[in-house]
Structure 1
Amino acid sequence: MDTKQRKIILAITLAYTVFILYFMFFGLGRTDTLDRETGHTFLFLPDGFFKLPSLSDLLHPTLMDIVGFGNIVAFIPFGILILLLYRVGFLRFMILFILSILVLETVQALTLLGSFDMNDVIQNASGAAIGFGAYRLGYRTEKIWTNIAATGISVVLLIIGVWGIFEVVDKALTKELGPFVALNELKSSSINSPSGTMRDSFQLGGQNVEPQYNAYSTEDKNMVTYTYTLDKKELYLYLNYGIPDQEDSHGSLRISADGQEYLSTSAEAQSHEIGMTSVYIQGANELTITLEGDVKIWDVGFREMKYDWNW
């Protein structure tokens, strides 16, 4: 590369750097929201940075889809331009690039023109790494147009590869709701209380209710407590509740786990309504459901949060 070509590439690099800096600090209407900022924002833990927009998302992209994808693509040229100017190894290049992005993210947060977001750091670094790899794969001949074409193809292939890897990692690190499991399938430690397996139909608010999985009540007692072993599961508990059609009747429902109360509600027969609720419980060992009065709950169950590879 002669001196003239080097100066042209340097000018392109500087111009592109100014463009990126403008976008980072003044793009997306950052200055318009400056007076509404109340504090500095530092997000040190990455959250969902592996999630790139899918092909269907790109057909109807949201602003966050565009930003997430742009955070990678916009920094690909740096991996190519820097190598055209300087001979540097991958490790050194990535260390210097990540340090530079960390500084810029910090300045963004301190000036209230953005936030320090570790997601952005990882996405930007991924783009630079793609550019670095594309240059290494593309620039192998003395023919400049052949090199440019090969580098462009390498960029596309590496983006697709990184996209696929990110999708796999996102899938592996994301928990999903499993199938519905009836509560009575868990181990119960309740003493002298029904198991919940009785599913006789009843009237509530003039409607005929037929439980599909289970039904719990006080069975003419003043109060009954049901306890089940959760084994530290992370889950969403679902249930229906209400007072069967009776005059002047009432009752209450309490749900707790390991002594922490998650739900406490009361019901009256006069309301003629079926209540439905869900409760998120994480890492508890014992679930306790306490019924008082004439309240009845049915089709009680849960959906456990699990990683895809843990089914």
Structure 2
Amino acid sequence: MGLLRKLYKILIPSYALFLLYLMFFGFGRNQYDINIVRLIPMFSTAGFIKQTILWKTIIINIFGNILMFVPFGFLGIIFPRLNNFWTLILDFLSAIILIESLQYFTRLGVFDIDDVILNTVGAVIGFWIYRIWTSKTSTRK
């Protein structure tokens, strides 16, 4: 676990900065003329699915919003208090809502509740993978 902790401590900050870049500047993103907020859960995702022709694009968008945040479920490796599910989820929700708000205020994205939901699902999946993995490695000792 010591090597994993050291590696994760090095990689997760870089990964977080990479995600922030994608969320604010990636994918040829330009500043919107107006501030946009989407608060009806799964409404924008359903609209995106209806308007998108290629399933590949749908899968990349939806599963990307989930899978890209799985590593944050492992934060308990370096922050022991985040080994508690509810602490991790509340901290993660606070951070992702702050980021979505910054996208809204800078107009370098939109505040989309679907992103909050999908990103949080990713962190939850990561947490349970981490929990299962650590429970298996602790029983081997």
**Separation (CA, whole Å) in 1 of partners of 2:137 and 2:4:** 14
Deviation at 1:65? 3.5
**Separation (CA, whole Å) in 2 of partners of 1:102 and 1:18:** 16
**Separation (CA, whole Å) in 1 of partners of 2:121 and 2:44:** 11
Q: Hey, what does 1:21 align to over in structure 2?
A: 20
Deviation at 1:109? 1.1
2:42 equivalent to 1:47: yes
Change (3 A) 1:96 1:25: same
Change (3 A) 1:66 1:12: same
In the alignment, which of 114, 117, 120 is matched to residue 119 of structure 1? 114
Q: Hey, what does 2:79 align to over in structure 1?
A: 86
**Separation (CA, whole Å) in 1 of partners of 2:76 and 2:8:** 10
Note the 1:3-152 alignment, pairs <5 A. Answer: 5-30=4-29, 33-34=30-31, 37-48=32-43, 60-80=54-74, 82-87=75-80, 88-142=83-137
**Separation (CA, whole Å) in 1 of partners of 2:121 and 2:42:** 16
Note the 1:205-284 alignment, pairs <5 A. Answer: none
RMSD between aligned residues: 2.3
Deviation at 1:64? 3.8
The structure 1 segments of at least 4 consecutive aligned residues displaced by more than 6 Å after TM superposition are: none
**Separation (CA, whole Å) in 2 of partners of 1:64 and 1:101:** 22
Question: Deviations 1:171-224 (Å, cap 9, x if unpaired)?
Answer: xxxxxxxxxxxxxxxxxxxxxxxxxxxxxxxxxxxxxxxxxxxxxxxxxxxxxx
Q: Which amino acid aligns with 1:8?
A: L
Unpaired segments ≥5 residues, structure 2: 47-53
* Structure ranking higher in helix proportion: 2
**Separation (CA, whole Å) in 1 of partners of 2:134 and 2:44:** 30
* Structure ranking higher in strand proportion: 1
Q: TM-score, normalised by structure 2?
A: 0.81
Change (3 A) 1:70 1:111: same
**Separation (CA, whole Å) in 1 of partners of 2:109 and 2:4:** 36
Q: Which amino acid aligns with 2:77?
A: L
**Separation (CA, whole Å) in 1 of partners of 2:64 and 2:5:** 27
Change (3 A) 1:40 1:49: closer
| Contact 1:75-1:127 within 8 A present in 2 as well | yes
Q: Hey, what does 1:180 align to over in structure 2?
A: none
**Separation (CA, whole Å) in 2 of partners of 1:61 and 1:14:** 32
**Separation (CA, whole Å) in 1 of partners of 2:125 and 2:8:** 19
| Contact 2:36-2:110 within 8 A present in 1 as well | yes
Q: TM-score, normalised by structure 1?
A: 0.39
**Separation (CA, whole Å) in 1 of partners of 2:43 and 2:131:** 29
| Contact 2:38-2:44 within 8 A present in 1 as well | no
Question: Deviations 1:100-154 (Å, cap 9, x if unpaired)?
Answer: 00000000111111000000000000000000011111222448xx9xxxxxxxx
**Separation (CA, whole Å) in 2 of partners of 1:62 and 1:100:** 29
Question: Deviations 1:28-84 (Å, cap 9, x if unpaired)?
Answer: 111xx32xx221011122134786xxxxxxxx525343211110011011102x021
- Aligned pair count reads 130
**Separation (CA, whole Å) in 2 of partners of 1:115 and 1:49:** 11
SS in 2 for 1:113: coil
